[in-house]
Amino acid sequence: MCTLTWRPPSYDGGIPVTHYIVERKDVTYPNWITINSYCKDCSFTVQGLTEGQEYLFRIMAVNDNGQGPPLTGINPIKAKAPYDPPSPPGIPKVTEVGGDFVHLEWDRPEKDGGSRIKGYWIEKREIGSNIWTMVNQFICLPTQISVPNLIEDRQYEFRVFAENDAGMSQPSSNSTSVRIKDPNAATPPEIITPLRNVMAIQHKSAHLTCQIAGKPKPNISWFKGMRELCNSAKYSMTRDGDIHTLTVHDVYGEDEDEYMCRAQNPGGIRSTKAEISIKLAPKINVPPRFRDTAYFDKGVNAVIKIPFIGNPRPRITWMLDGETIESGSHYAVETQQRHAILTIRDVTNLDTANYRLTAENELGSDSAIIKIQISDRPDPPRFPKVESIMGKECVLSWQVPAWDGGANINNYIIEKRELPMESWIKCANTRLTTAQIKGLSPGHQYQFRVYAENVYGRSDPSVGTNVAGTPAPTTKKPKKKQYEVDETGKKIRGRKESVDDYDRFVFDVYSKYVPQPVDIKHDSVYEYYDILEEIGTGAFGVVHRCRERKTGNIFAAKFIPVASAMEKELIRKEIDIMNHLHHPKLINLHDAFEDDDEMVLIFEFLSGGELFERITAEGYTMSEAEVINYMRQICEAVKHMHEKNIIHLGEYVHLTDF
C-alpha cells in the first residue's frame, strides 16, 4: 500500500470542492483505473498494489460545476517494502588464531537498508576449494565470532552476510587467508596505543606515533590512504622498541589525508588509523563569474557559491551595507565544508548591491566583495504630458524610468485612447523621450501612455496623460455621399457580383496577421473598401460583402443607422468591447467607420449560414459528436470573454448575440 497526499486547488471555480477522484495506472498498461471516486480528504491510502510494479497516480477535484483537470504525479512509484536488504558487511579480519579455531571481526554494513540489522551469517572455505560452508547454525548478533572445528595447518578464508527484515545482503569481500597454527607459535599484533589525529602547521613537520606489541615482533607498514609509504626525504619511519613513529616533513595541502600503521606477524594483522590536518589561514577563491559584476534575472533565486579554504574551519560572515546577513524569509546563509553559499530569494532591483564575504579563524582572515546586478524590465516611464496640440497632431514628452532594469532603454512605445472608449491602441514608437503623434481626429479627446523597453522586456505602462482634446475642424465638411434608393426606399450601397461559392472568400485571420484593436475612422468607408452585394439584414442594420482595397481580402461590412448620440455611444461601447476580444472562436472586428447618420463595422467574413437555422432544418439530425464539437467551441469563446472580465448579465442564457 502507499499513502497519497495533496493540497486543495488554488482556485475552486467559485464553488467549494465537494470531493476528489483518485485514479491509478500501471505503467505497463494504457488505462487509468478509479480507486476512489468520492474522497473527501486531501489524502488517501492505496491498497492492493502489486509488489515490484510501478504505478502512476492522479487526482481530480470535483465541485458542483464538474470535474477539474487532473494533477498527475511526476514520476512512477514502485510498490515495494519500505526497506531493502543491507549492504555487505566489512571485510572480516582474523583477530586470533588457535590450534583449531580463528576469531573474526568485521565492520557493520554502511547501509542497513532502512531496517535494523538482525545479525550475521558467516561462511568459510578452504583454500583451493570452491565450496563455501556455513559456520553458524544460529544468527550471530555481534560483529565478531569464533569459528571452531578447523583443521590445523590448513588455510581458510571467510566471508560474512548481514540480515535484516528484507533478507540477506550480498557477501562481504573475502577475508585474508589464514593458516591454522598452534597459539603458542605466534601471537597477533596488539595495538597498545593507537594513532591519534594530528593538527599540523603548514611547512612544519607532523608526527604520528603508536605502540604495537606482538610475538614475534610484527612488521610495520605505513599507508597514506591506500598507498604504502617508504622512507624518503618526505617520510621518515622510526622504531624504538614497540614505539613506531611516522614523520611527514614540510606538510602542505596534499598531505591532509588518513594515515594507517599496519602491524603483521604470523599471528595476524592489526592496524590503527589517524588523520593529519593542516592549520591554514582562510583564503577565499572567488570564481570567475563573481570576479566582476554577476547578473541575475528578477524573480529568480540568486545563489552565490564561493569556495574557501582554512583550518580550523573559518567562521563565515556575509554583510550588506555594514549589516550582517542572517537566514530568513529573503536570505538563506549556508556554510558547507569548503563553500560559503548565500541564496537571495525572489530577487528584485533592491537586491542590486555589493555583498561582502568574510572568512576568519585563529590564523587570520580574508574577505571578498561580490557585486550583484538584478536584470529586469525597466520601470514605467515617468510624467508623460502633452506639450502641444496642432490640428491632427500633438507632441508628447516624458521622463526616463527611475530604474532601467540593468540595461539601456532601447525603445519607447506610445499608446492612445480615444475617450470615452477604454481600449488602448499603439500609435507610435521612438528611442527619444518625445514623440509627435499624428492621425488624431479633430474635436476628439485623447489620453496617452508610454512603455519603455530594454533587452529584458517591456515595462508596465506609465500613468496616462491628462485628457487632451484636438480642436474642432474649421474647414468645410466634405459633401455627404448621396445614395440611390430602390423601390422600397432602401439605400443601394454596393454593386452586385455573381458568386457561386462564398466559402472561397473565408480565410483564417490569425494565420495572416495578428488582430489589433480598432481605431474608429471618420473618413468614408468607400475610400478603403469596395462595397459589394447585400448578404444579410436584421433589426439593427444591413450587412454587405466588401473587398479591402489595400489587400484584396473579403470582409463583411455591417451598416448600422444611428439617429442620436446615445446610439453612437452604444456602438462605440461595442467596438471597445470587441477590441479586448481576439480569439479564434470569436468573430474578429477588423475596422470601424463613423458617419453622421450611420456607423460601419468591418468583420471577418464567415460563410455557412446560421447554426440555429441548420440544426432546426427539417430532416436534419444532429449527432452527439457535433453537439460536443459546437459546445466546446462556445465554451472556449465564453471562457476567453470571462478571462477578459466581459460577461453576459441578462436574465436569460444566450449562446449568441449577447
Any idea where the domains of the chain sit in the sequence? Answer: 2-78, 93-179, 187-280, 285-375, 382-469, 504-607
Please tell me the distance from the alpha carbon of residue 213 to that of residue 190, in angstroms, as a whole number: 5
Q: What is the pLDDT of residues 443-455, one digit of tens each?
A: 788 899 999 999 8
CATH topology of domain 285-375: Immunoglobulin-like (2.60.40)
| Residue 441, pLDDT score | 81
- Contact between 440 and 470 under an 8 Å Cβ cutoff? The reply is yes
* DSSP reduced 3-state for 498: coil
> Does the structure show a pLDDT above 90 at 103?
yes
Q: What is the pLDDT of residues 265-286, one digit of tens each?
A: 988 899 999 999 888 889 999 9
236-250, 453-467, 516-530, 624-638: which is most confident: 236-250
506-521 confidence digits (pLDDT tens): 898 888 888 888 888 8
Q: What is the mean pLDDT of residues 88-109?
A: 92
**Residues sharing a CB contact under 8 Å with residue 313, sequence separation 6 or more, in sequence order:** 337, 361
Class of the 93-179 domain? mainly beta
CATH class assigned to 187-280: mainly beta
Share of the chain above pLDDT 90, in %: 48
pLDDT-derived band at 483, boundaries 50, 70, 90: low
State the Cα–Cα distance between residues 445 and 442, nearest whole angstrom: 9
Q: Please give the average per-residue pLDDT across 319-342, as a whole number.
A: 93
* 562-572 residue pLDDT tens: 888 788 888 88
Mean pLDDT lowest among 433-437, 494-498, 587-591, 626-630: 494-498
On the question of pLDDT at 658 being above 60, the answer is: no
Pick the CATH number of 2-78 from 1.10.1660.10, 2.60.40.10, 3.40.630.30, 2.40.50.100: 2.60.40.10
pLDDT the model gives residue 120 = 95
Number of neighbours of residue 570 by Cβ within 10 angstroms: 14
The overall average pLDDT reported for the chain is 88
Look at residue 89 in the predicted model and tell me its pLDDT.
94
pLDDT at 88: 94
pLDDT in the model for residue 247: 95
Which of these ranges, 219-233, 250-264, 319-333, 390-404, has the smallest mean pLDDT? 390-404
Helix H or strand E segment including 628: helix 624-643
Contacts 24+ apart (CB under 8 A), 435-438: 435/395, 435/396, 435/397, 436/393, 436/394, 436/395, 436/396, 437/393, 437/394, 437/395, 437/396, 438/392, 438/393
Give the cell for residue 534. 447585400
Would you list which residues are annotated within the binding site for ATP?
Answer: 558
Q: Convert the pLDDT of each residue in 628-644 to its tens digit.
A: 998 898 899 889 889 88
How far apart (Å, rounded) are the C-alpha atoms in residues 124 and 430? 88
The residue written with cell numbers 483505473 in the block is 33
Write the CB contacts of 505 (distance below 8 Å, at least 6 apart in sequence). 545, 554, 605, 607
The highest-level CATH class for domain 504-607 is: alpha beta
Q: What number is the average pLDDT over the span 387-402?
A: 87
- Give yes or no for residue 487 having a pLDDT over 60: no
Round to whole Å and give the CA distance between 373 and 347.
10
**97 pLDDT higher than 80:** yes
Contacts by residues 382-385 (CB-CB < 8 Å, ≥ 24 positions apart) = 382/462, 384/448, 384/449, 384/450, 384/462, 384/463, 384/464, 384/465, 385/465, 385/466
Residues marked as binding? 558
Taking the C-alpha atoms of residue 647 and residue 658, their distance in angstroms, rounded to an integer, is: 9
Three-state DSSP class for residue 458: strand
The predicted structure's pLDDT at residue 614: 79
- State residue 152's pLDDT score: 85
Rounded Cα distance between 3 and 79, Å, is: 11
Please give the Cα distance from 316 to 335 (Å, whole number).
7
* Mean pLDDT, residues 332-352: 92
For residue 118, the model assigns a pLDDT of 92
User: In the prediction, which pLDDT does 465 show?
Assistant: 87
pLDDT value for 476: 47
pLDDT at 183 over 60: yes
Return the closest-CA partner of residue 465 out of 396, 413, 388: 396
CB contact at 8 A, 563 and 540: no
Tally the C-alpha atoms within 13 A of residue 257's C-alpha that lie toward its C-beta: 15
Listed ranges 154-158, 293-297, 362-366, 392-396; the one with the highest mean pLDDT: 154-158
79 versus 466: which is more confidently predicted?
466
d(Cα 318, Cα 639) in Å, to the nearest integer? 50
Using the predicted structure, report yes or no on whether residue 492 has a pLDDT greater than 80: no
Give the pLDDT band of residue 656 (cuts 50, 70, 90): low
pLDDT at 363: 85
Same fold, 93-179 and 504-607: no
How would residue 488 be classed by pLDDT, with cut points 50, 70 and 90? low
pLDDT at 540 over 90: no
Could you tell me how many residues make up the chain?
658
486 pLDDT band (50/70/90 cuts)? low
Amino acid identity of residue 231, one-letter, is N
% of the chain exceeding 70 in pLDDT: 95
CATH class of 382-469: mainly beta
